[in-house]
Structure 1
Amino acid sequence: MNDQYRETEAGERYARAAFDLALDQKILDKVQADAETLKALLTESAELRAVVASPFYKSEVKLNALLAVAAKAKLQELTKKTLGVMAANGRLNHLFPLITAFNKLYAAHKGIVSAEVTSAAALSDEQTASLKAALTKALGGQADIRTQVDPALLGGLKVRVGSRLFDASLKTKLDSLKFALKKA
């Protein structure tokens, strides 16, 4: 069994525990916001990421760094306690898998469907809103879309929902036409 699998599995266990407690305490939305805050802080700060991931720092040092950040970010008590339990068990290096697993549990609970949209040019706010409404209707759940730009598409869109890919890009259509012409 590889280390990444163990990290993911441990992160999922901590996420499930935190999720269930947040649901019981009726603070699920607040704890989910904490998870997003922690993710942003870890993503933006190479120093914080290094402290949390490093095997050279003791759990106490890692926890103190995270609690200092948590105090400034005004994180929920449950979030701080979860960090404390992870530190006590030497599992703070599983923080990213915990955040990922918690966000998946939250999305499933709220009926939120995540979609990655790639377009040839940046979408306007109106186009994004229209696409979000269409995806919400088609998928039967609130759509949460992340957009990115890939000029190689030439036009159209690629929409990935889970493992499904809907490709309506001009590049793919031209490639299909090129392949069909070669066969003819």
Structure 2
Amino acid sequence: MPETNPQVAEIAAALRMAREARAAVDAIPARYAGGLMALARETFEKGDTGVYDRIAAGLDAVAAAIEQNRGFRHTLESPLIPADAQLKAVLAVLDNPATGVSVPREVRNFVGVVIRNRRAAMLARIIAAFRALDAERRGEEQAEVVSAVPLDDTQRAQLLASLNRAGHARVRLTERVDPAILGGLVLKLGSRLYDSSIRSRLQRLAHAMKGAA
């Protein structure tokens, strides 16, 4: 039996540890999302039939604040801000009549739990995990589309029609704007990623030119 190269074994062990660490980190958003879904299910079974939609709408408002408000995002992501101060600043944004942002009690309480447990930086990923669970509950697929500018109604309808023709009849679409992709779209559907952005095309062109040089 051939001897194992110590360096190869060391690299393999490091890669395995990295995979295990990543799996542990990825499990955190799923765990929090699962807890919120369990709360929603319990509330629904008690007769509150609007709870799923109410929580989903509240989380959409939080996700929009994370995406659009740089200060809000920094507050969530900074490990230097104490949890109490972090929670106070976040709730001031989430319950602000001046900006029209308002979230239901379930979402406020949930965000409080996430922050007190020092998982605020993962909030966007937790919301994405909840959306996936909610789409599954509805018998839908969860898709996220990233565009350089907001989609208009025609573009949105064309995208959904294309997904329908590809066999994805019930897709719940969430949209995110990222000017850095320059143009085109990046679509994440379940575990699959489709990148037709101009940024990606330029990167592929640059690699091809470098290889040909």
Runs ≥4 residues deviating over 6 A: 157-160
Aligned CA RMSD, in angstroms, stands at 3.5
| Equivalent AA in structure 2 for residue 65 of structure 1 | A
- Determine the structure 2 residue equivalent to 1:54: 78
Partners of 2:77 and 2:121 within 8 A in 1:
yes
Q: Of 110, 113, 129, which aligns to 2:157?
A: 129
| Equivalent AA in structure 2 for residue 80 of structure 1 | R
- Determine the structure 2 residue equivalent to 1:14: 32
Measure, in 2, the Cα distance between the counterparts of 1:134 and 1:66. 38
| Equivalent AA in structure 2 for residue 90 of structure 1 | R
Measure, in 2, the Cα distance between the counterparts of 1:15 and 1:54. 22
- Determine the structure 1 residue equivalent to 2:141: 113
Partners of 1:8 and 1:98 within 8 A in 2:
no
| Equivalent AA in structure 1 for residue 110 of structure 2 | T
Task: Give the superposition deviation at 1:115.
Answer: 4.8
Task: Give the superposition deviation at 1:86.
Answer: 1.8
Task: Give the superposition deviation at 1:111.
Answer: 2.4
| Equivalent AA in structure 1 for residue 107 of structure 2 | T
Q: Of 22, 30, 33, which aligns to 2:54?
A: 30
Deviations 1:130-184 (A, max 9, x none): 552463462242453769953xxxxxx997644276x9xxxxxxxxxxxxxxxxx
| Equivalent AA in structure 2 for residue 10 of structure 1 | I
| TM-score normalised according to structure 1 size | 0.68
Task: Give the superposition deviation at 1:19.
Answer: 1.5
Note if 1:139 corresponds to 2:201: no
Measure, in 2, the Cα distance between the counterparts of 1:83 and 1:158. 28
By relative contact order (CA 8 Å, sep 6+), the higher-ranking structure is 1
**Equivalent residues in 2 for 1:150-169 (5 A)?**
150=184, 161-162=189-190, 163=192
- Determine the structure 2 residue equivalent to 1:175: none
Measure, in 2, the Cα distance between the counterparts of 1:160 and 1:77. 30
Gaps of 5+ in 2: 1-16, 45-50, 197-213
| Equivalent AA in structure 1 for residue 36 of structure 2 | A
| TM-score normalised according to structure 2 size | 0.60
Measure, in 2, the Cα distance between the counterparts of 1:158 and 1:59. 34
Task: Give the superposition deviation at 1:17.
Answer: 0.7
Task: Give the superposition deviation at 1:105.
Answer: 0.9
| Equivalent AA in structure 2 for residue 15 of structure 1 | A
| Equivalent AA in structure 2 for residue 103 of structure 1 | R
Partners of 1:111 and 1:142 within 8 A in 2:
no
Task: Give the superposition deviation at 1:100.
Answer: 1.3
Change in 2 beyond 3 A, CA 1:30/1:145: closer
- Determine the structure 1 residue equivalent to 2:116: 88
Task: Give the superposition deviation at 1:51.
Answer: 1.2
Change in 2 beyond 3 A, CA 1:158/1:104: closer
Mean CA deviation greater in 108-117 or 7-16? 108-117
Measure, in 2, the Cα distance between the counterparts of 1:81 and 1:114. 25
Task: Give the superposition deviation at 1:6.
Answer: 4.4
Gaps of 5+ in 1: 151-156, 168-184
